[in-house]
Amino acid sequence: MSRVTVAPHGSWRSPLTPADAAAGGTRLSGLSISTTSTGRRVWWAETLPAERGRMAVMCAAEGASPVRVHPSTAFARSRVNEYGGGALWADGEQPFWVDEDTQRIHRAPPVPGVLEWEPHGAITANPPALRSWRFAAGQVTPDSEWVLCEREVHTRDDGTPLPEPVNDLVAIPTAIEAPPAQHVLVGPGTPGGGDFVAAPTLSPGGTVLAWLRWDHPHMPWDAAELWAGRFAVMDGVPTVSAARRIAGGSAGAAPHGLDRPVAACLPEWSTDGRLWWCDDASDWWHLRHAAAAGLPAEGAGDTAPLVVPGAREEVGEPRWVSGGHRYGFTGDGRVVFTASADGLDSIWILDPTTGERVPLPGPRPTYVEQLVVDGSTVAYIGGTPTTPTTVWRVELDDGTATDLRGAVAPMPAEWISSPEPVTFPTGDGEQAHALLYPPASGDHVAPDGELPPLIVRIHGGPTAAARPELSTSVQFWTSRGFAVADVNYRGSTGFGRRYRDLLRGAWGDADVEDCIALALHLAAAGRVDGGRCVIRGGSAGGFTALAAVCFQADRGHPGAFAAACSLYGVTDLSAMAADTHKFESRYLDGLVGPLPGAEEVYRARSPLFHAERLDRPVLLLQGTEDRVVPPSQAEVLVDALRRNGVPHAYVRFPGEGHGFSSSGTVIKALQVELAFYGKVLGFEPADRLPRLDL
């Protein structure tokens, strides 16, 4: 540090501009490895900021730089369960993707000089109505003749909408010419069918199919069952027979003496043909496997032992999106897996025969989005506290690790704040968790004795977790002198089933209590200025932020948060329950309570009906085309703030929906938020910002 500037927290000049922060929001998904005659190829989908976040298909051949699959109009995104995922998979040199605009499955054209493919085109026919057939999580059979995948059907054959979409598993020929009808393998009325079926996973020999199923009102992290059945193609027709439940669900509770269902997730097949999965029967989502290769017996998984007994870590994850992978198998029988503990991820190589585990060679990631294995090659999407999330390829034979995207940190290391796991006391004698990012600067310090302001960030979900990655949306604030705390309130994942269930019936209560407890804890520890704590979040996180400021006085802590920022935050729980998609249509039954019986609880926890209690400054950032949280809900809060004489700002973004996609919108939102904090917390930002009147 050659020259140090003494300046108040929040007023530090940062090398990370709002434009840099917006550009750092690239997301990666759809990771897979395919084996070809010339080596292994790694595939993924990558958001393009210049294309409003659309996801391009990328491929890296062995020893080569990644290339974008042509044509340039190929964008991969599934809309199954609205959240999508699993939109890209590959078979040798042939990639398949779900087209964002039509939701038809396409095969890609050649990449000049890199790959040799057959002509590209759609392998699924036009549906009765646009996007009324949706696909995800595909896998190609060993003979390359069929794609097995998730399907979601929204209309009848005549194009009229169904009362509720139908989720099933189908087999589709890989040939492009005259796409035929899709063959239903598992669906309503078949063994193993239900309100939801997902994650079709075919054994190495192609003879056994495994999948997950669950029914309303459960979510998959509440009571998903693992099923399997024999797969065969008879006279040109793919079928599944002898289907049976292997583990999980309500039936899986009794062998463990549980009074709640078991949630299975992440089915995979090892190279020796045994079925593996994770379930939470022992509290933590960890690995189990069948005793022998092939199709397990009915309920055999209920008594399968844990692969790593006693580990207070989670391999499993909540199934928000399709196509996720957190572990895989090497050619010599070892398992490479991701584990989450204390809010941080790590990757391990386990020898199942000896129980010995060692870290994966290369960087030690704290965040892993996906992980796949083929032979001695491991690929994962992940990042460390000081390096951006990117695509890594690790060769176990020689321990080399290669960043396939060549990702570069957005600023020098001395400006980057690393997360510190924090555990703190909260209500009902419980403990909650957070990741604390202290202020960090290469050339600024605060005046002696000045503590930093705190931004408490709320993750979405709410059944999710804070991402312990190098995030420009965090570093934007820490490099300007803020402390940032990503709170994993009760109900967050990565801390076991018991912790996850602490939010059941308590959303809008336990999460709010935890956020307040975190701010008070950090202030009492002398880490932050207790008089300058703010809370912010988007969507479900915006609901918690607004509820915290709305109800903090009722909890005896009127000054816990000095202000709140809500980005398209939910304000009315009843409206959210009434106007949502199939996947989440019964979500609030568990989080709040079934309607209509719990109607008073919904109203009591909704900021929309208690806006008169908002007595701290509030910033509302809202898209004009938001159908989840219409602008009218935000405007009710604005009217109440005006009547109460509370400083506030309401900024509308034309054309934006529930979640901001335009880089210009993200830039302006950051600028407005910084200006807002400067006004309410009493500092002058170094940035040139738009005028904001409160």
pLDDT in tens, 646-670: 999 999 999 898 888 788 899 999 9
Q: What percent of the chain has pLDDT over 70?
A: 97
More confident residue, 633 or 25: 633
Strand-pair category, 483-488 with 533-538: unpaired
Report, as an integer, the average pLDDT of 29-58.
Answer: 87
- Judge residue 609's burial from the number of C-beta atoms within 10 Å of its C-beta, 0-12 exposed, 13-18 middle, 19 or more buried: middle
599 — pLDDT class (breaks 50, 70, 90): very high
110 — pLDDT class (breaks 50, 70, 90): low
According to the model, what pLDDT value does residue 111 have?
53
Q: Determine phi and psi for 659, rounding to 5 degrees.
A: 115, 130
93 — pLDDT class (breaks 50, 70, 90): confident
Is residue 48 pLDDT above 90, yes or no?
no
How many whole angstroms separate alpha carbon 226 and alpha carbon 208?
Answer: 13
Is residue 118 pLDDT above 60, yes or no?
no
Q: Determine phi and psi for 546, rounding to 5 degrees.
A: -65, -40
Report, as an integer, the average pLDDT of 244-255.
Answer: 97
According to the model, what pLDDT value does residue 663 have?
82
Mean pLDDT of all residues in the chain? 93
CB atoms within 10 A of CB 505: 15
More confident residue, 285 or 633: 285
Instruction: Determine which of 119-123, 344-348, 353-357, 672-676 has the lowest per-residue pLDDT on average.
Output: 119-123
Sheet holding 161-173, edge to edge: 133-140, 146-155, 161-173, 183-186
71 — pLDDT class (breaks 50, 70, 90): low
According to the model, what pLDDT value does residue 543 have?
94
Report, as an integer, the average pLDDT of 86-104.
Answer: 92
- pLDDT tens, 194-246? 999 999 999 999 999 999 999 999 999 999 999 999 999 999 999 999 999 99
According to the model, what pLDDT value does residue 1 have?
46
Kindly list the structural domains of the chain, giving each domain's residue range(s) and its CATH number in brackets, ordered by start: 5-16+415-580+614-681 (3.40.50.1820), 326-409 (2.40.10)
- pLDDT tens, 160-170? 999 999 999 99
- pLDDT tens, 347-375? 999 999 999 999 999 999 999 999 999 99
How many whole angstroms separate alpha carbon 353 and alpha carbon 211?
Answer: 26
* Residue 328 · residue 343 · CB < 8 Å: no
According to the model, what pLDDT value does residue 579 have?
79
SS (H, E, C) 443-507: CEECCCCCCCCEEEEECCCCCCCCCCCCCHHHHHHHCCCCEEEEEECCCCCCCCHHHHHCCCCCC
According to the model, what pLDDT value does residue 510 have?
97
According to the model, what pLDDT value does residue 51 have?
75
Report, as an integer, the average pLDDT of 91-96.
Answer: 88
Report, as an integer, the average pLDDT of 435-463.
Answer: 95
According to the model, what pLDDT value does residue 636 have?
86
Helices (H) and strands (E) in the chain, counts: 11, 37
Using CA atoms, how far residue 240 sits from 173, 187, 204, 225, 434, in Å, is 16, 11, 16, 17, 45
The residues pairing with 225 across neighbouring beta strands, listed in sequence order, are 213, 248
Whether the bond into 66 is cis, omega within 30 of 0: no
Considering the entire predicted model, what is its pTM?
Answer: 0.94
Is residue 529 pLDDT above 90, yes or no?
yes
320 — pLDDT class (breaks 50, 70, 90): very high
Task: For the chain, give percent helix, strand, coil, nearest 5.
Answer: 20, 35, 50
More confident residue, 120 or 274: 274
SS (H, E, C) 96-137: EEEECCCCCEEECCCCCCCCCCCCCEECCCCCCCCCCEEEEE
According to the model, what pLDDT value does residue 644 have?
87
Q: 3-state DSSP call for residue 662?
A: coil
Cα-to-chain-centroid distance, residue 536 = 19
Radius of gyration, CA atoms only, the chain: 25
How many whole angstroms separate alpha carbon 155 and alpha carbon 185?
Answer: 19
